[in-house]
Amino acid sequence: VGSFGAAAITPNLDRRARRGVQFDRAYCQQALCNPSRSSMLTGQRPDSLKLWHNSLHFRDRNPDVITLPQWFKQHGYTTRCAGKIFHNWHTKVKGDPGSWSSPEFLHYANHGDDKPLVQGEVPPDHAKAPKCECRDVPDDAYYDGRVASEAIRVIHEVKDRPFFLAVGFWKPHSPFNAPKKYWDLYDRAQLPPVDLRRPAGAPEIAFHDGRELRGTPPNLANFTSDQIAEIRHGYFAGISYLDAQLGRVLDALDQAGLTEKTIVVFIGDHGYHLGEHGLWAKTSNFELDARVPLLIAAPGVAQAGTRTNALAESLDLFPTLIELSGLPNPGGLAGVSLVPVLKDPKKSVQPGAFTQHPRPAYFDREPGGIPEAMGYSVRTERVRYTEWRDWKTGDVIARELYDALQDPSETKNLIESSMLKEARVEAEMLLRKQFPPQRRE
């Protein structure tokens, strides 16, 4: 949930962590909604799907690929969706109807359309900063409250049969519009400060213009210190709002008598910058964008209340869930099962976790519609190593190396240093084995 997750007030995430294994080094395959979700839900990397932006449905280039919920559906499960699971509103096909036993609920929507729905007059907005809204409204006024209510209804509807329920909460993504009571949980002056400086020695290509929060180029906003503080406050409020909705769903599992026989996973699709490195939102290969929260509670399997440093990737979810459920493997999955780690959190199942991102970050909106470069990044136990490659030639045009243990905030690019040579060579070999340089001319 960001660089300051420990400061967030999340009693229900804490409650869930006490029942399962918390992965402290889990990573998405690309820090953007559509590629990340498509990769996670198909068990394929963005390069295999040929999908690196939000405007293309994953089935346009992969019509026969099997999704995680679809595989459960084909093996006798009722599969249901409440909220944002597959990416939706940029594409012609909304969601993935073949994956579900019933139509998705509140799936086709845009974050910016999440306006408060209340009876009578809408209460005043106490927020001032861009993308922020602070109104004294009930939880169901916004998407996530309604998503939780639908998930609860579905749980009671399907509780007597095998089911796969995907609950897609929208927060803490912008706009930062949690109900006022969640803003009131925090003293803005006491929230962790932000370091706006870029990492020393980092190449220009590693950065982007933050247009998701700053607006449309060339009219990009430069936030004041007060605006930065309020935006960060709103992000915290969104985390606590999401946490409360998760608590409602967990309560429903308890009430239905399902807690001890249900696998529960909590995962995010990407990380988020809130001014760190001078960046806003996602679309980078830095740790803050690549790392995602991951909790897995599997009764009778997971070592409850434990944390692990084992490296994990979002696309590991597919093979993990089918193994836990005793389903056959469809073959061709890029991820690996995390079940050995659930049984023994000291174990490791892979030497590196891979993330990538193109430049321009939103190349589909640029003339020509193809990237100029692709950044490939690997996180090992010791370092994060990144290569930026020319899209057409495959030539390396920039590199980054960060000391993940001594410099977890990634403040200095050590690629020109003699330090960490052995770790760099190991990471470079891993990266090039996973992503061999190629010419696309």
Residue 360: asked if its preceding bond is cis (omega within 30°), the reply is yes
Structure tokens belonging to residue 320: 């993990």
Question: Could you tell me which of 103, 106, 102 has the C-alpha nearest to residue 77?
Answer: 102
Q: Which of 53, 57, 87, 277 is catalytic?
A: 87
Q: Any residues with CB less than 8 A from the CB of 89 and at least 6 apart, and which?
A: 108, 109, 110
Residue with tokens 């933050």: 210
Question: Could you tell me which of 283, 303, 125, 305 has the C-alpha nearest to residue 206?
Answer: 283
Q: Which of 28, 33, 81, 132 is catalytic?
A: 33
State how far the Cα of 175 lies from the Cα of 280, in Å rounded to an integer: 13
CA dihedral 332, 335, 340, 345 (to 10 degrees): 180
Q: Any residues with CB less than 8 A from the CB of 192 and at least 6 apart, and which?
A: 3, 4, 7
> Does the annotation mark 87 as catalytic?
yes
CA 157 to chain centre: 29
State how far the Cα of 170 lies from the Cα of 184, in Å rounded to an integer: 20
Bridging pattern class, strands 306-308 and 21-27:
parallel
> Does the annotation mark 132 as catalytic?
no
Bridging pattern class, strands 383-390 and 306-308:
unpaired
61 and 114 Cβ atoms separated by less than 8 Å = no
Helix locations, 97-136, DSSP H: none
253 and 184 Cβ atoms separated by less than 8 Å = no
* Torsional sign, CA 49, 53, 56, 57: positive
**Residues taking part in catalysis:** 33, 87
